[in-house]
Structure 1
Amino acid sequence: MPQPGDVDHMMNTRRLIRLLLLGFLASLAVMGWSSQAYGQLPSLGGSVAAETRLPPSGVSRYGALEVAWVKSPLGGENLFQIASPTVIDRSSLDGAQLPVEVRSHNIEDLLRLEISRFRQNALSRLFAPFTAAEAPAPRSAQVIVSTLQGLTVVQVTSTTSSRPLTIATVTQADANFYSETPEQVAQQWQTAIAGEIQQAETLYSPEVLLQRLQQTIAILLGILLLTGLLALIYRRLGKRQAQLQRRYASKAEVSPPEQSLAEQQKTVADSSHPAERFEAAQISHWLQQQLSLQRRLTLYKFARWLLIWLAVLVWYVGLYLLTTRLPILMQWSRTVLTQPLSLIVIWFVVSLLIRISNSLIQRSVSAWKENAYLSFGVVQRKALRSQTVSGALQGLASCTLVLIGILLTLTEFGLPVPSLLAGGAVIGLAISLGAQNLIKDLVNGCLILLEDQFAVGDVITLNGESGLVERLNLRLTQLRNPDGELITIPNSQIGLVKNQTSTWSRVNLGINVAYSTDLDHAIAVIDKVATQLSQDPDWQSLILEPPQVLGVDAFGDNSITIRLWMQTEPLQQWPVGREFRRRLKKAFDQAGISIPFPQRSIWFENGLPEKGEIKRGMV
């Protein structure tokens, strides 16, 4: 039990810890909330958070100046730089503040206006119904430097306008940025603008414009011609692929069904008898044909996929050439050259990786299911399971790669991918809460595949329903029962599963004989019929082990049951059992062994009643 002094010491310690925590929190509050003092700097107004805002895209900040490029309206190239005083908070601008990006856009719009006049003049001279005397005169322009209201400006004068158009005004911020006089800065701008005007005058001259229109028509015809040629090749390859697919299917149907690929290869290697060598040579020839057909099918599929991307490349290159030929589209040529090309490369790589991953998964699954040291039943079981496993793995790989492609595409468009991922995580959490059954289906589907509970082609019983598994994926299982009904069961509802065809199957037959039958003789007849069936060339490939007559299994009301087991290939227990019953009935008839049927004997304690007593109702 603690003493009073110990209790006081503990209380003092707690108070000290509490004071230290309060002091620490107070220090954080003071450092975080107190206003900071800046030495040797004038007050720029606004909060500290506003001072740390970054400039918009395309704007560079150098202390008290912000700089942006003026771009060419024709090709999008950089012409010259302009400067303006730094604007910290662009959300609250007064009338005197003009951000540098707004000023840059204004200059570009004025240049675009002047260039549009060249375009209108050229189109009027080309297509307007004027005579030679009435046709408008060719437009000509000159770039000059002048002074307007005490400011140095760059203007454009033309033969068709009586008043010059002021393109740009040199400010003190521009002179400070260039470290030159306004006149010197204006001369640099004059040179850049004059080159742009000269290029527009050349491009929109009737001769050059007509020549470029002819080139545009030729490019369009070339695109259509190459697209038609690729479509024709694609269609021819599709017909050839369909023919090979039919040949592959027909050759697969006539292949030896009782041997796996690994066992056929082993047969070829181990055969020594001439007849066996001939059969082995046939099997080897069939294997070579199948592998050759499979490779050719894969090659045709890849060629058709490549043709699709060649068509995409043809259209991309054609559109880019169109933007370089038509002056009105030249401003988007750089955009077409960069962003669409990035998107095409992204999705081409994604599509190629999907094909490579599918091929690697298929090869890995094929190597996993084929093994020369495994029995045919195990290999066949793996073959059934491999269909579902490969489909699930290929779907997972494809979804992952497509998701990566979508994220890269969003990055190309400048969207904040981390924010989208965070929002997607929240949405995914909300969806998962409302789709718990779907998640249970997916989890249980993965467990079914990993634990090999059943696969496509198995005959199973689950939830009281029996049938052949026709479809199995991560979400549901579909059975076809003996009546032909398709039963769909979500994987989350699957509990106890009875698989009747996993690796091997069994004929479990109870044979009833009369009590008067010689049991040893009956067992010998049953064993003989079962042995003959297992040695029959038409049936021995379906029976994996010698039949087992277990002996007397039960005593019934009017019969004795003898139990027989025969281990068969999966799904073969039913035809083998039917054939055995047919042969056993003939053998029992020849041996004089009767198969009992329900009979009832009636015993009277006082003997049989007389007819007269029956009539008088004495019985």
Structure 2
Amino acid sequence: MDLVTSLLHAFPSTGEEWVDTLTGAPLRITVIIVLSFVGLYVANRLINRLTESIAEGRKRGPDFLSPLAAANPLNTARRAQRARTIGSVLRSSVALVIGAAAILMVLSEVGMNITPLIASAGVAGVALGFGAQSLVKDFLSGAFMLIEDQYGVGDIITVGSVTGTVEAIALRTTKVRDLDGTLWFIRNGEVLTVGNLTQGFSMTQVTIAVPAHQEVDEVRAALLAAGARVVSMDEFTDVITGETEVFGPETLDGKTVSFRVALKTSPAMQWAVARKLRGAIRQEFRDRSLTLA
């Protein structure tokens, strides 16, 4: 009987007490949970719309994401992967912040002192940061690499002793396929310096050697003519963006003299142009009765 009496006294006994109880902590907790889910849903929708618009090239986006829209519009895979990866990071960050805030507010409403909990979370965060600092370093490096557009899918890069084509980019690792077909997994936090061979523009450079007795002016004229022949090719109309430059004599010994021919091209087109340029130089030298060393 005492147990039943205690249970009855635990519940409100009047209508006014019931109203006070229901409009107190339970109502506030319900409002916190509902608002948290609504806020998370709205934030995710906005992030999805923003990243998809940027991935499809429909929208420039805010200033801190402007490198995404500045990427080559023809490189859809690269732009889409960068936009969606950053979108994933934003969604995870928003969910973490809203979830943590909602939990702390609910605990506060049920009467728990959250000050020690916050202090403990701070200590745990510091301990986790020390224990997983290499993982955190990889993620932060990957995020900044994506935002700064250091390289993207399809670019040819050099990282340390590895040179190859970027096949995939994640926050922790980058996959690079080298010329031998080997797929390299490179941790983003370990990338100290990276050379991008295909960003912005590229340079075709071909070095040739001729016998030392050849006339310098004749050799230069032949090289300029060979460059002009390549520039005039229909397949390179929108690829070569500058005039032919000839540098030399660059080296000189008792038997040979070397010259260097340079052409500015679109990204990743320097090798195709170089092949045509070598053929044009060979043909031009044959037509002018000049000799290659």
Q: TM-score, normalised by structure 1?
A: 0.37
Distance 1:382 1:433, change over 3 A: farther
- 1:340 positional shift: 10
Would the aligned equivalents of 2:153 and 2:166 in 1 still touch at CA under 8 Å? yes
Q: 3-state SS of the aligned residue for 2:158?
A: strand
Counting only pairs closer than 5 Å after superposition, residues 233-312 of structure 1 correspond to structure 2 as none
- Cα distance change, pair 462–387 in 1 and its aligned pair in 2 (3 A): same
Residue identity in the other structure for 2:90 = A
Larger radius of gyration: 1
1:436 deviates by: 1.3
Give the AA of the match of 2:43. Answer: L
| Shift in alpha-carbon separation, 1:363–1:577, aligned structure 2, 3 A | same
Residues 54 and 80, structure 2, Cα contact 8 Å, conserved in 1: no
- 8 Å Cα contact 1:380-1:503 kept in structure 2: no
Q: Does the aligned pair in 1 maintain the 2:51–2:84 contact within 8 Å?
A: no
Aligned mate of 1:357, from 47, 57, 72: 47
CA contact (8 A) 1:410 1:417 kept: no
Check conservation: 2:158, 2:164, Cα contact below 8 A: yes
Taking a change above 3 Å as real, the CA distance of residues 545 and 381 of structure 1, as seen in their structure-2 partners, is farther
**Cα distance between partner residues in 1 of 2:88 and 2:223:** 51
User: In the alignment, what sits opposite 2:178?
Assistant: 481
Structure 2 unmatched ranges of 5 or more? 15-28, 62-69
- How many corresponding residue pairs? 264
Q: Secondary structure at the match of 2:264?
A: strand
Q: Quick check: 1:540 aligned with 2:230?
A: no
1:460 corresponds to: 157
Query: Which structure 1 residue ranges, 5 or more long, are not aligned?
Result: 1-95, 109-173, 178-338, 370-377, 597-619
Alignment of 1:466-615 (within 5 A): 466-556=163-253, 558-596=255-293
Sequence identity percentage: 23
1:311-368 deviation per Cα after TM superposition (whole angstroms, max 9, x unaligned) = xxxxxxxxxxxxxxxxxxxxxxxxxxxx999978854653453132121244367444
Q: CA deviation at 1:480?
A: 1.2
Which residue of structure 1 aligns with residue 7 of structure 2? 102
* Residue number in structure 2 paired with 1:47: none
The aligned residue for residue 26 of structure 2 is none
Query: Are 1:380 and 2:80 matched, yes or no?
Result: no
- Alpha-carbon distance in 1 for matches of 2:153, 2:117: 39
The answer to whether the 8 Å contact 2:86/2:143 transfers is no
Query: What pairs with 1:385-404 in structure 2 (closer than 5 Å)?
Result: 386-387=79-80, 389-404=82-97
Query: How far does the alpha carbon of each residue in 1:76-118 deviate from its partner, in whole angstroms, 9 at most, with x for none?
Result: xxxxxxxxxxxxxxxxxxxx9769652458xx9xxxxxxxxxx
Query: Aligned-residue CA RMSD in angstroms?
Result: 3.8
TM-score using structure 2 length: 0.74
- Contact preservation (8 Å) 2:32, 2:105: no
For CA contacts below 8 A with separation 6 or more, give which structure has more relative contact order: 2
State the SS of the aligned residue for 2:72. Answer: helix
- Residue 379 to residue 342, structure 1, CA distance change in 2 (3 Å): closer
The answer (yes or no) to whether the contact 2:175–2:186 under 8 Å persists in 1 is: yes
Q: Go from structure 1 to structure 2 and tell me whether the alpha carbon gap of 1:417 and 1:550 turns closer, same or farther (over 3 Å shift).
A: farther
Sort the Cα spacing of 1:513 and 1:393 in 2 relative to 1 into closer, same or farther, 3 A: same
Query: d(CA) in 2 for partners of 1:536 and 1:417?
Result: 77
Distance 2:113 2:273 in 1: 62
How far 1:404 sits from its partner (Å)? 4.6
| Alpha-carbon contact 2:209-2:292 (below 8 Å) kept | yes
CA distance in 1, matches of 2:248, 2:194: 30
Whole-angstrom distance in 2 between the partners of 1:569 and 1:540: 11
